[in-house]
Structure 1
Amino acid sequence: MERAHHGNISFLSSFCWEGCHYYAVSQCFVFGRGTWLTVLGQPNSSPSVTLSPPSPEELSNNKAILVCLISQPNDFYPSGLTVAWKADGTPVTQGVETTKPSKQSNNNNKYAASSFLSLSPDQWKSRSSYTCQVTHEGSTWKREWSLQSALRSQDPHPPNEA
C-alpha cells in the first residue's frame, strides 16, 4: 500500500481488482464519511426483492418474523445497499436485523442479503401492512404485504373485474 500527498489531501493506493473503496480525506478535518469512490470490476446488477409474511407455524409458536430476501433470481453488484421497514407506512427500526451482503459461491461475483423483522403475534396483528424497502445504487425497490391483498388472494369467489 502506498501513501501519496497532494496539497492537503492524502491518498492511500493499493492494487485492486474489484469492489474496492477509496477515501480522500483532509489531513486535519474529516466531516461525515469522506468521499466514497467505488471501483467496479463488473457492471452494476440490480437485486430482486421478495417479502414473505410469518408462517402459520411461527404464529402458533408465538413468533412473527417477516423475511425480506434480496437476491434470487438476480443477485446484486456492488455490495452496498440499505434496507428500511415500514408498518402501515410508519418506519420501524426495533426488531430489524439485516445481514451483511455476502458474495455468492456461484462465481458470478455478485451478492445476496436478507433482512428480518421480528414481531410478537400481537404486534403482527395490530398492523394491516408491512413494507420492505431496499435501496441499491440510487434505485429503490419496495415490497409490501397487506392484510387486504392476502384476504383477496384467499377469496374463492373474487369479484368480476371490468
Structure 2
Amino acid sequence: MSWFSRSKLPLQAVIEHFCLLLYFLQGTKLTVLGQPTVAPAVTLFPPSAEELQTKKATLVCLMSDFYPSDVTVAWKADGNPVTQGVETTKSSKQTNSKYVASSYLTVTPDQWKSFKAVTCQVTHQGKTVEKSVSASECS
C-alpha cells in the first residue's frame, strides 16, 4: 500500500503541494539562523606603494565577523558602478562561527590616481555599508 493510497488528501492537494515544493527548491535559499544576525565589519584597503610600481593597483574590501554568510559586494569609482577587474571570495567560517569574505578590485595605477573616490558597497541582510578611499588620502 503506497503513501498516497493511505492519505486522506485529495489528489489535487497532493499535486499542488508537490509543485509548490519543486518551485521552492529551484532557487530559494532558506537560512535557519543558529545565532543572532551580525552585520559585517567592513575595511577598505588601498593599493600598496610597492604594488603600484608593478603597474597594478588592487583595492581590497575585507568583510569580517558577520552572520549569516550571505553578502553581496558592489564597487563604484566616482559613483559609477565598476564590474571589470572585480573578484569576490565566498564566505568562509571563522573560528568564532561568524564569517569572513573579501572582494578585490584591480585597476591600473593611472586609473587609481584619476579617481576621486573608490567605494566598496557591502549588503548584508538588506542593510548596506559603504567604505570609500581615494589616492589623495594615501599620498
- TM-score strictly above 0.5: yes
Separation in structure 2 between the aligned mates of residue 6 and residue 140 of structure 1, nearest angstrom: 41
Equivalent in the alignment of 1:157: none
With over 3 angstroms needed to count, the CA separation of the structure-2 counterparts of 1:24 and 1:146, relative to structure 1, is farther
Separation in structure 2 between the aligned mates of residue 37 and residue 86 of structure 1, nearest angstrom: 30
Q: Is this contact kept in 2: 1:8–1:26, CA < 8 A?
A: no
Tell me if 1:8 matches 2:16: yes
Q: Is this contact kept in 2: 1:131–1:145, CA < 8 A?
A: yes
Map 1:107-146 to 2 at 5 A: 108-146=96-134
The gaps in structure 2 that reach 5 residues or longer are: 1-12
Separation in structure 2 between the aligned mates of residue 9 and residue 54 of structure 1, nearest angstrom: 53
With over 3 angstroms needed to count, the CA separation of the structure-2 counterparts of 1:120 and 1:37, relative to structure 1, is same
Say which one has the larger Rg: 2
Separation in structure 2 between the aligned mates of residue 56 and residue 92 of structure 1, nearest angstrom: 22
Separation in structure 2 between the aligned mates of residue 135 and residue 99 of structure 1, nearest angstrom: 15
Equivalent in the alignment of 2:10: none
The gaps in structure 1 that reach 5 residues or longer are: 12-22, 155-162
TM-score normalised to the size of structure 2?
A: 0.80
Coordinate RMSD, CA, aligned: 2.4
Structure with more helix by fraction: 2
Tell me if 1:83 matches 2:73: yes
% identical equivalent positions:
58
Q: Which of structures 1 and 2 has the larger relative contact order (alpha carbons within 8 angstroms, sep 6+)?
A: 2
Structure with more strand by fraction: 1
Separation in structure 1 between the aligned mates of residue 44 and residue 23 of structure 2, nearest angstrom: 42
Q: Is this contact kept in 1: 2:58–2:105, CA < 8 A?
A: yes
Code of the aligned partner of 1:26: Y
Q: How many residues align?
A: 126
With over 3 angstroms needed to count, the CA separation of the structure-2 counterparts of 1:24 and 1:129, relative to structure 1, is farther
**Displaced runs of 4+ in structure 1, greater than 2 A?**
23-27
